[in-house]
Structure 1
Amino acid sequence: MAAPPIRHILISVLCQLTVSAVSETFKELVGAIGGSVTFSLDFTVQQVDSIAWTFNETNFATVEPAVGDKQATFIVAQKRNRPRVLFQDGGYSLTFSQLKKTDSGIYSVVIHSSDSPQPLTWKYRLHVYERLSKPEVTMGLYSNKNGTCITNLICSIQEGGEDVTYSWKTLDQAANESHDGPILPISWTLGENDMTFICMARNPISSNSSSPIHARKLCEGGAADDSGFPLKLLCVLLLIPLCLLGVTMALLLSRLTKRRKDPVKSKSGEDIHQEIPNFYPCSAENTEYDTIPSTHKNPEEDPANTLYSTVQIPKMVENPHLSPRMPDTSKLCGYENII
């Protein structure tokens, strides 16, 4: 058997190198949160034995194409991804839907074919982004001297701030200008034509613009705030000592009022103590009766001439807290003669 010509050998080697170089091409894909992305496959081999997909070097999905009467088999490794994966073109291309931020990463696919001595490989890098919210514009350091307003406008994004680029568009009657970057320095003099500034933010999947900013309104508002600041500060500084003086006067007035009330209460207490004597009336329980005979001696007792005397004996006071000036109850309790 004659050896194949060298020309055929070189052509075969070049074809294999070309297929290998094409199969190793790295593709960039972008997707939005909640959206979908398709990993497309483009190859010329006729016979496909199996297709294996990986995500960050872990098993993602496996496909066995239909052979004869045998239907194609699709296996998704993780159960949560099964409703999100769809195979197209007979199981060759893969569509991934309901994207999440965590789906970003490296996806690889390896195709085994009996028509190719080596497996075919494709790699993809997927970036999942958030859609940009409306940019917000804030004012930086401000200066207003001799009617000239000088400041910086700062553009920022609250949501979806990954891989964002900023640009400014300046509109006036003379010309339209643009500026790149999140910070725009401006200078506007009172009496000039009004200028309008718009910030535009972009990422690989979306773009959004801020509300228009007018130089006249911005500088006039800043001037009012700048001139009003010392007046507000002065009012606060004057209000503090007035408040302290009011508190001090209230405390002094409270002490004077208290001192005036104390002697009145003391004197009133003494008067009440003197006006209420510790006097206890004689008790009727100690009443005793005795019979005093008449000075006229009659042989027979005359009931009509009998004298009765009532003696009242006061109770002994045992209260140690009574005033020592308590009147003598024995003197108050006299003798009552009943005839």
Structure 2
Amino acid sequence: MALNHILRFLLCLLTFKTGFSAEISVFVQTGDSVHLDIQTQQLPEFDLISWMNDKSEVIVRYNSDSKRVKPLDSYKDRVVFNDVTFSLTLKNMQKTDSGLYTARISGSIITDLVSYRVSVIDSVEAPVLTVNSNWFSGNFCTVNFTCRAHELMINSSYQNNRCSPQEVTSQINTLILDCSKEYIICNHSNPVSWNEDKINIKELCIYKENELNIDQTLSSFLWPFVGSVALCILSLLVFLYFKYKKGAQEEVEGNTVYAQVEAEDQTREKTGNDRPITVYWTLGQHKKPTIPPETDHTVYSEVYKQPNEKLSAISADAS
């Protein structure tokens, strides 16, 4: 029996020295669960096995004799312990749960089997891929763009159907830029999550090519249109010029006729004749023949004469 205890002690010491107690980094996303194993299937005999946090609080204790599992009250609703593999699962992890978790056995000696450095972190934000400029050079489409996420940024360009992959890192966040024949891909990741943004190169270049074709088509229609408008304006200016010239000539002629009429008015003033001196006026100077009055033989004349005759008869009688 003494030999067995000695061998057990040497085994525990050996396992302790060979890395059972090595610290292992584990990342868990906020709100998720974390699973912690003891990392070995050959355990020495023990009375108790406990999982502890860096505050020296016993999260859960298992008694090998009674097979009883006793969790800490603050972890009661969040802990799952496997009494076969002795693994520990913690649920709904928050950032305040970040820290060191250790599996420890107690018996003839106390041995730390494994330790985990647990980091609770949030998921990464989505990166933003921005096209700064794009143009055609020969048969190739060239695109300048920026990949950005958090405090990380990559500037690059897509030429000759390819781009150079790039990667930048800050603490636990990584930004990766890559290209294929169809896409420019910007990937943002951390140990618990990843997110990406991408741009379809074909759609971008086809759009640019269509835009270039439209510009060329508009140019082919624009110059004839401009020529037509210029010709119309020139024709309008020529028309207005001749119209103005004709109006000026008529005004001069009108002034000449007005001068003739004014001269005739002055002549009439000198002769004392107000009548216009025209051909008709000249012909009108000939004396019209005198037409002898005809004897009035109408009823009106007879009636009109009766008073006169009566007056004559009365005058005769008075004499």
TM-score of Structure 1 vs Structure 2, range by shorter chain: 0.3 to 0.5
Name the TM-score, length of structure 1 as normaliser.
0.44
Bigger Rg, structure 1 or 2: 2
Q: TM-score, normalised by structure 2?
A: 0.47
Normalized per residue, which structure has more helix? Answer: 2
